[in-house]
């Protein structure tokens, strides 16, 4: 019989080790739905139940436990082989690249894959600097930039790194009591927090069938302050389930309403046209696109 894709076994091993779909999704930098689909496909392909559910915890069946032991061993051997290869080629010339990113508050989804790349790469040394937006990127220092904004940017090459779907997020205290949010109309009880000119909230409200009038709003120049104000119960912000994954997972933020709209601004990887022609820059960009993973 044909073997299922190797990635399916990687997803299975992560779920088996961590005991939940959501934890595996965070580790693999994909959505919980993507993890669930991979598991269902693997079980269907093998025609074997690998997990049973005990409350919220996923527990391996005897068949799942036997498979997990073999898969974990195989993954360990692959990691060891890759490590040996890196050691063999340690003499390779190291390429130094300076990457500009937005402040990491609000870009936690980028931090883990970027740090993993920096730790595992023996051929690329990455220096990270920060700039809030495209206008403030110091191109005398930066070779490449991750930018939160909207093209076009004349004279530059860009590629979508992470497309955002905006959902309301707020303090868990807004799930009950007199300020509880059960419908879009309940947002009138709260301040609407934003870092743009308010157009994103206007778009979200319009999609929900509401007009912008009658809603209070507060503007911050920094998206990190928007999220902190939402955590502290100062109002309701628009964020993304990946951008705010840690806050949502830890219960610092909740999503009271499921409606999502495409963001006006997204995260792009950007460099000058001339820089894009350098082979080492193209290779780094391709690596960054892969490790961030477009399925997030």
Query: In terms of C-beta density within 10 A (0-12 exposed, 13-18 middle, 19 or more buried), how is residue 12 classed?
Result: buried
Q: Tell me which H or E stretch contains 28.
A: helix 21-28
**pTM higher than 0.85:** no
Q: Which pLDDT does position 234 carry in this prediction?
A: 94
CA neighbor of 207 nearest in space, from 150, 240, 253, 166: 166
pLDDT band at 143 (very low <50, low <70, confident <90, very high): very high
pLDDT over threshold 80, residue 65:
yes
> Sorting pLDDT into bands at 50, 70 and 90, what band is 104?
low
How does pLDDT run across 75-103, given as a tens digit for each residue? 777 777 776 666 554 445 678 889 998 87
- Strand order from edge to edge, sheet including 216-219: 216-219, 191-194, 236-240, 165-169, 261-262
Query: Average pLDDT of 216-234?
Result: 88
Confidence band of 145 (pLDDT split at 50, 70, 90): very high
Distance CA 287, CA 140 (A): 23
Task: Kindly give, in sequence order, each residue whose CB lies less than 8 Å from that of residue 190, ignoring residues fewer than 6 positions away.
Answer: 170, 174, 179, 181, 216, 235, 236
Per-residue pLDDT at 29: 78
230 has a pLDDT exceeding 60 = yes
Which pLDDT does position 90 carry in this prediction?
47
User: Would you state the pLDDT for residue 238?
Assistant: 92
Residue with tokens 């046209």: 273
Q: Which residue has better confidence, 20 or 226?
A: 226
Residue 121 gets the label, from left (phi > 0), alpha (psi -120 to 50) or beta, of beta
Three-state DSSP state, 152: coil
Backbone angles phi, psi at 88, to 5 degrees: -65, -35
C-alpha 38/C-alpha 12 separation (Å) is 8
> Which residue segments constitute the domains of the chain, with CATH numbers given?
6-88 (1.10.10.10), 95-164+266-292 (3.40.190.10), 165-262 (3.40.190.10)
How sure is the predictor about 294, in pLDDT bands with cuts at 50, 70 and 90? very low
pLDDT of residue 92: 53
- Report the chain's terminal Cα–Cα distance, integer Å: 31
- Cα separation, 216 vs 80, whole angstroms: 56
């Amino acid at each position: 019989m044909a073997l299922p894709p190797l990635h399916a076994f990687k997803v299975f091993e992560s779920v088996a080790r961590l005991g939940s779909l959501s934890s595996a999704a965070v580790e693999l930098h994909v959505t919980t739905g993507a993890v669930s689909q991979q598991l269902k496909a693997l079980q269907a392909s093998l025609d074997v139940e690998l997990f049973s559910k005990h409350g919220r915890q996923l527990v391996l069946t005897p068949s799942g436990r036997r498979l997990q032991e073999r898969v974990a061993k195989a993954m360990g051997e692959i990691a060891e082989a890759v490590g040996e290869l890196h050691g063999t080629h340690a003499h390779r010339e190291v390429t130094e690249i300076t990457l500009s990113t937005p402040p990491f508050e609000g870009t936690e989804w980028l931090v883990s894959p970027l740090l993993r790349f920096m730790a595992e790469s023996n051929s690329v040394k990455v220096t990270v600097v920060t700039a809030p937006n495209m206008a403030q990127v110091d191109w005398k220092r930066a070779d490449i930039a991750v930018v939160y904004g909207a093209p076009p940017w004349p004279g530059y090459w860009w590629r979508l790194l992470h497309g955002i779907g905006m959902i309301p997020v707020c303090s868990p205290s807004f799930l009950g009591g007199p300020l509880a949010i059960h419908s879009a109309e309940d947002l009138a009880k709260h301040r609407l927090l934003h870092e743009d000119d308010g157009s994103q909230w206007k778009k979200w409200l319009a999609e929900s069938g509401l007009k912008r009038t009658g809603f209070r709003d507060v503007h911050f120049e920094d998206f990190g302050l928007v999220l902190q104000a939402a955590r502290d119960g100062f109002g309701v912000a628009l964020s993304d389930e990946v951008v705010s994954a840690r806050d949502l997972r830890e219960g610092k933020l909740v999503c009271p309403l499921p409606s999502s709209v495409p963001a006006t601004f997204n995260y792009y990887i950007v460099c000058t046209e001339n820089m894009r022609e350098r082979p080492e820059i193209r290779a780094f960009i391709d690596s960054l696109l892969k490790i961030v993973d477009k399925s997030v």
